[in-house]
Structure 1
Amino acid sequence: MKNSKALIGIISAAVVGAVIGMLCAPEDGDKTRKKLKKKTNDLASELLDALEKSKAKAMEKVDELKSKGEAYVHKTEKSAEDLKSVKQDVEML
């Protein structure tokens, strides 16, 4: 989570820097706009890729936690069944 926030911050800073640099550049307006559009599209693509990777990692963690939770439930149910069996054995005495 911290890595993805840092990555988003870095990419956002790069976009702002690119925009300021291009707006201050002594080029024709059309060329500047084309460069700005290309750079923005490139950076947006990188950001989307980073977000997809973060989402995939998050989903892996969700699946891992779900599996651990299911295993815990199974273990708890087994313990409850064992206790019920012991209780029945004690009641028979």
Structure 2
Amino acid sequence: MINTRVFWGIVTAAAAGAVIGLLFAPDEGVKTRRKIRKTAEGWSHDALDTLDSSKKKVVEAAQRLKDTAYRAKQDAKDAIQEATEKA
């Protein structure tokens, strides 16, 4: 949790620094706005890629958990059936 906060804090600070740097750059307003738009688009693509990757990892982890639970259920059924037959 803390690592995530630190990461997003650094990302936010970097983004703010980049925007401030672009705003005070010696370029014309049109060029500066174009740079800001391109930078923001790049960041949004990166964020979407990260989100997609995270989603895939969560789906894979959920599937592994489901498979593990199913195997545990089957093992429990087998153990109960075996114990019932012995009794």
In the alignment, structure 1 segments of 5+ residues that lack a partner are: 88-93
Correspondence list, 1:26-65, <5 A = 26-65=26-65
* Higher CA-based Rg: 1
So what's the TM-score if we normalise by structure 1? 0.78
Counterpart CA distance in 2 for 1:18 and 1:24 is 10
So what's the TM-score if we normalise by structure 2? 0.82
Contact 1:15 1:40 in 2 (8 A): no
Identity of aligned residues (%): 33
Query: Counterpart amino acid of 1:60?
Result: E
* Partner of residue 15, structure 1: 15
Contact 1:11 1:47 in 2 (8 A): no
Larger relative contact order, structure 1 or 2 (CA cutoff 8 Å, min sep 6): 1
The size of the alignment, in residue pairs, is 86
In the alignment, structure 2 segments of 5+ residues that lack a partner are: none
Please report how far the alpha carbon of residue 57 of structure 1 lies from its aligned counterpart in structure 2 after TM superposition. 1.1
Instruction: Give a deviation string over 1:8-47, Cα, whole Å, max 9, x none.
Output: 6254343222211111112211111111011000111011
